[in-house]
Each structure stands twice: as C-alpha cells, then as structure tokens.
Amino acid sequence: MRITIAHNTDDATLKVVEHLKKRLEQKKDVVFDAKYPDVVITVGGDGTLINAFHRYENQISSIRFIGVHTGHLGFYTDWQVKDIDKMVDALFLREPESARYPLLEVELVTEANEKMHYLALNESAVKRISHTLEANVYIDDNLFENFRGDGLCVSTPTGSTAYNKSLGGAVIHPRLKALQMTEIASINNRVFRSLSSPIVIAPDQWITIVPNSDHFVMTIDGNRIDLQNAKMINYRISSREIRFDRFGHTHFWSRVQDAFIGGKDDFI
C-alpha cells in the first residue's frame, strides 16, 4: 500500500504526524509514496484536505482520502487524534470500502473559444471586486435570469456546508448528486429582478454563467483566478468523485449537527 501524509505546520499537527509515521512504519507492505499514493492521509483541518485534493486531483480516481483533524471537527477530517492507532489498524484489517462524494466540474470558455477545466471539492464563485457583476444565467442552455449583484456561487453537496451556507443556501446530503447556485447580495428592485433564492438542479443538468464584463474574478475552493475576456463558465457534476475510507467516516448529519448546532452533550 502506497501512502502519503499531507499536513499543516502547526506544532500540534507535527507531533501527530511523527506518531502516525512510526505506527505506519510498523505495518508490513507500507511504502511512503508522495507521487503516486493509494491513500492520502491528511492531518490538520478541512483546508489541509482541500489542498491535498487539488494536489492529487489528476489521480483522484485511484486515491482514497483519510482526514485527521487537529483542531475543530471538519466535514472531511473526522478522525480524532486520540484514535490514530485505531485508524491505522483499521486501514489494514479489511478490504477498503469508500464513501464517494460528488465533485464540481468547471469549464471556462474564452472569447477565442479556448477551454480551460477545473475541479472543485466545495464550490466555485464568480464575482467582481469593486463593481456590480452583471451576468446572464442559463440552465441547460435556456436563459433563466439576468443577474446583478456581488456574485454567484455554485456548490457541491458537501460544499453546501461551506460558503454556500453562509449565503443562505440549503445543506444537501452528498448522496444527492445535485448542484446548488446561490446569489451573493443580488440587486432586486423595479428595474432589476432575479430569483433571490438558491436553486438546486438535477445531476444531468448544467449551469452556464455569461458575465457581461471583460474583467472579473472566479474562485475555485477559495483560490482566486483573475479573468479577462472570458466568454462563459459552465458548471456541472463531474464524472469523477472523491473517495474517503468508509471506516470511521462520521455520519454526514452528525457532522452537520456537531459543526452548527452542537453535540448531544450541549443540549439541556
């Protein structure tokens, strides 16, 4: 089994990584391979795992992820430090079973009809920084609305708990392979009108955003890309998925409850 460990540089994390390496070295048939791993173990937070995802996104079909959190419980990093030994033992006890989550495929088309492709685990947003974004929004090539406001955010089901939720979007279970689009500070008056509500589309549908501007910003999982002369951006559910080892992978709604409401011990 080829394994690599991705981690942040916090002191607490480095201690965990040192212990994890020692435990893995005690197992037979373990090869540390950062180039072509079978398993990527991340130690840190969700940001650490997202960075690792983008590092290995071209190999995503052949990799399984395991997330260990050294801070607050994350949506992707749900193993606790105290359970490291249990996690290592479980990794070698049985054939792997994976929880699979949908990914967002982003296609940017330039005015010269050049196409660039990106993959997002959480979301992609389109914004203008100092001016209002104006854009035509299409669903399945049919014009849906003319948007004016700060921007638009398209998220995956797991990404629905991130930026999308802060915008008032719904939390969607990852078994639903659906895209969600939420508006960012839309302008609605007698002249300008948009739906002003998040929309969720089916797995076989797609969203196209055509900005009426030659300069705007697109983000992929928070990473900013400055764009000029872009013709359109197409969003759809990718045919690829991210895989997490199922053992120890916390129930989705339990993670939602813990992150936003509090654990059972917090209830009076």
Based on the fold, state whether residues 92 and 106 are members of the same structural domain: no
> In which domain, by residue range, is 39 found?
2-97+246-266
* DSSP element (H, E) containing 260: helix 252-260
Based on the fold, state whether residues 39 and 72 are members of the same structural domain: yes
Long-range contacts of 46-51 (CB under 8 A, 24+ apart): 46/74, 46/75, 46/76, 46/77, 47/8, 48/6, 48/7, 48/8, 48/77, 49/6, 49/74, 49/76, 49/77, 50/76, 50/121, 50/122, 50/221, 50/222, 51/6
pLDDT in tens, 40-78: 999 999 999 999 999 999 999 999 999 999 976 678 887
DSSP 124-139: EEEE-SSS-EEEEEEE
For tokens 């049985």, the residue is 94
Based on the fold, state whether residues 58 and 143 are members of the same structural domain: no
Judge whether 39 and 20 are in contact, CB under 8 Å: no
pTM tops 0.85, yes or no: yes
Alpha-carbon distance 263 to 148, whole Å?
A: 40
Based on the fold, state whether residues 92 and 221 are members of the same structural domain: no
| Eight-state DSSP code of residue 170 | P
Based on the fold, state whether residues 128 and 59 are members of the same structural domain: no
Q: What total of structural domains would you count in the chain?
A: 2
The mean pLDDT value for 192-198 works out to 91
Could you tell me the CATH number of the domain that includes residue 51? Answer: 3.40.50.10330
Based on the fold, state whether residues 222 and 144 are members of the same structural domain: yes
Based on the fold, state whether residues 125 and 93 are members of the same structural domain: no
pLDDT score, position 267:
47
Beta bridge partners of 201: 179
For tokens 């209830």, the residue is 267
pLDDT score, position 218:
97
Whether 3 shows a pLDDT value over 70: the answer reads: yes
The better pLDDT of the pair 103, 189 is held by 103
Based on the fold, state whether residues 220 and 106 are members of the same structural domain: yes
For tokens 């129930």, the residue is 251
Active site residues: 46
Based on the fold, state whether residues 34 and 61 are members of the same structural domain: yes
Q: Maximum Cα–Cα distance for the chain, whole Å?
A: 69
Please report how the helices 11-25 and 84-91 are oriented relative to each other, as an axis angle in degrees rounded to 10.
40
Could you tell me the CATH number of the domain that includes residue 174? Answer: 2.60.200.30
Based on the fold, state whether residues 80 and 179 are members of the same structural domain: no
Based on the fold, state whether residues 109 and 224 are members of the same structural domain: yes
Based on the fold, state whether residues 113 and 201 are members of the same structural domain: yes
pLDDT in tens, 119-152: 999 999 999 888 899 999 999 999 999 999 999 9
pLDDT in tens, 208-259: 999 998 889 999 999 999 998 899 999 999 999 999 987 766 678 888 888 8
pLDDT score, position 260:
85
